[in-house]
Amino acid sequence: MKKLMRLTLQHTGPGRLMLYTLLGILSGISSFLFISLVNKAVGLLLDETFTENQLVFCAGFLLTVGLFVGLKFLLARSIIRMSQETLWSLRNDILSSVLKAGYQQLNAHRIRIRSALLNDVYTLTDASMSVIGFSTSLILSVACLLYLLSISWSLFLITLLVAAGGIVLYRWNTNKTLGHFKNARVLEDNFVRECDDILDGFREIYLEPAKGRVVYRRISVDIAGKSIASNTIAYRGFVNNQMTGQVLFYILIAAVLLFLGKALHISLADTISFIFTLLYLVGALETIMVMLPVLARASVAAGSIIELREFMSDTSSDTEEKTILPARAEAVPFSCLGLQHVVFSYPHNENIFRVGPVRIEINRGDIVFIHGGNGSGKTTLLYLMLGLYVPDAGELTLNNEPVDRDNYAAYRNNFSAVFSDFYLFNNISGWPGMNLERWEEYLHLFELEGKVKLEGSCFSTTDLSTGQRKRLALIVGLMEGKPILMLDEWAADQDPYFRKKFYMEILPQLKADGFTIIAITHDDKYYHCADYIYKMEHGRLINETVGVAQH
């Protein structure tokens, strides 16, 4: 619950939370005023003096009901607004942590981020909607207990003992119950992962439905089975608590009516008032008990969001040490970059694959090709050069200056990249430094005229062939105007005609325009187009430029 309070406080602010609590208290008090009026009226009816006070009671009832309705309405309106604002504020908060996180952190927590954005925030929003009933019932319970004290302190003590017994039982059960909710929350992540398999692997499943059936079975048998079991045990625990509490109070009511009233010499009017108030108390306690599982699940969701945020901002753990949090940075004019004895290995990789030590110097205007076998470390090296991964040892230099924590973001600003699994943004509005005036020229160069248009800051379509989408991604990269272009097997999806055009015509033109190009390629037919050629072998970078370089 502490985590839930911490998160709620962060998103509503203490002022608003106090205001809603105050409204809840007032609403509870107005309910209690109504009960006490009913009790008084019952007492007067028994004394047969009610008719003399009928008008006063009529006004009293109208006033308390009016107050109750007004406060409930105000509270409901505020809480509904607050819960919607909390939903979006939580989402914005998670997304801004995502945007500030390092690449490796993001990759490691992809599924949790999705679960947090889609599930946890809704669990929390639902809980905040329940707060109205919860706070009102809580206040009403306290007020009822105080009223019971004013009727008979001995009966009050007995009631308190019964309530304490219920609370002890509840506490005893709750830890176990929360554990089951936590299990169910972990299963939710597994569910999201399996759903990704179905949605992202749909083509493969369509061809071989057995693949889909396997995933479906994992969801419907494994995950659903375990999730149903965990949630059922957890909810059952809460229902048991609720029933135990109710039974305890019903026994108390029966005992007061049957013998406790008489034994403790309580008058008939007080006994009736006591029973009445107890019944109200049971109702209020029941409302609280119904809310408890909702709050318990919200507490697990809050814990999960807080943990995720800590993972995303933490720079001390194994993985996070190798990332540099981005900051706003101005690019410096690029003249050369270098990797000096750079070493990197993936954390938690059992095969202990290591890149390096790597030494390389690249100057402005160079065309550098890197080739090598699958799994030799080319992409890892590319990520190191791009500053997506941070080396374990050695250093990167930009313009002969070492790149450190403070200027990593500025360093990254020098690159545009088209990855082998690139993402094509449809809307490029607000991107800094875009040379949109070159759009038509590049469209012509990459032979995409008539295929796609730039409408404002959006592309008319991104539903193109794979090769065409790659051409468009490269045009976007070029329009960004960054000095270094990183390409991971860019030409692999191009037809022979355009591949030739790319190596023989486009690359020289880009070089003439001042771009530096670092490309992973297996097109050995065009290796002569590079100024420098390197081979990656088991994480080692071998210079094969001799005989290839044109200068």
Ligand X SMILES: Nc1ncnc2c1ncn2[C@@H]1O[C@H](COP(=O)(O)OP(=O)(O)OP(=O)(O)O)[C@@H](O)[C@H]1O
Select from 376, 407, 413, 468 the one that contacts ligand X (CB under 6 A): 376
DSSP 388: S
375 makes contact with ligand X (CB under 6 A):
yes
103 makes contact with ligand X (CB under 6 A):
no
Residue 374: CB minimum distance to ligand X, A: 3
Residue 380: CB minimum distance to ligand X, A: 3
Taking alpha carbons only, the member of 143, 131, 133 closest to residue 34 is: 143
Show the site string, 524-543: x = touches ligand X by CB under 6 A, - = not: ------------x-------
Q: Which helix (H) or strand (E) is 45 found in, with range? A: helix 14-47
377 makes contact with ligand X (CB under 6 A):
yes
Q: Residue 342 — φ and ψ, nearest 5°?
A: -75, 135
Our CB check for ligand X shows the closer of 453 and 525 to be 525
**What residues are paired with 287 via a beta bridge?**
none
Quote the tokens at residue 105. 């952190």
How far apart are the C-alpha atoms of 40 and 67, rounded to whole Å?
19
Residue 370: CB minimum distance to ligand X, A: 9
Residue 314: CB minimum distance to ligand X, A: 19
How far apart are the C-alpha atoms of 486 and 516, rounded to whole Å?
9
Residue 531: CB minimum distance to ligand X, A: 21
**Three-state SS annotation for 212-249:** HHHHHHHHHHHHHHHHHHHHHHHHHHHHHHHHHHHHHH
Question: Do residues 410 and 330 lie in contact, with contact meaning Cβ atoms separated by under 8 Å?
Answer: yes
Region from 13-21, 183-191, 346-354, 490-498 binding ligand X, contact rule CB under 6 A? 346-354
Select from 353, 422, 439, 526 the one that contacts ligand X (CB under 6 A): 353
Look at the chain and count its residues. 551
Question: Do residues 249 and 278 lie in contact, with contact meaning Cβ atoms separated by under 8 Å?
Answer: yes
Residue 379: CB minimum distance to ligand X, A: 3
Our CB check for ligand X shows the closer of 487 and 536 to be 536
Q: Residue 449 — φ and ψ, nearest 5°?
A: -60, 135
How far apart are the C-alpha atoms of 299 and 293, rounded to whole Å?
9
356 makes contact with ligand X (CB under 6 A):
no
Region from 6-14, 120-128, 242-250, 348-356 binding ligand X, contact rule CB under 6 A? 348-356
Select from 374, 421, 429, 463 the one that contacts ligand X (CB under 6 A): 374
372 makes contact with ligand X (CB under 6 A):
yes
Residue 354: CB minimum distance to ligand X, A: 9
The conformational region for residue 361 under phi > 0 = left, psi -120 to 50 = alpha, else beta, is beta
How far apart are the C-alpha atoms of 366 and 480, rounded to whole Å?
19
Select from 380, 413, 416, 516 the one that contacts ligand X (CB under 6 A): 380
Our CB check for ligand X shows the closer of 51 and 374 to be 374
346 makes contact with ligand X (CB under 6 A):
yes
322 makes contact with ligand X (CB under 6 A):
no
DSSP 392: S
Our CB check for ligand X shows the closer of 349 and 550 to be 349
Binding stretches for ligand X (CB under 6 A) = 346, 349, 351, 353, 372, 374-380, 536
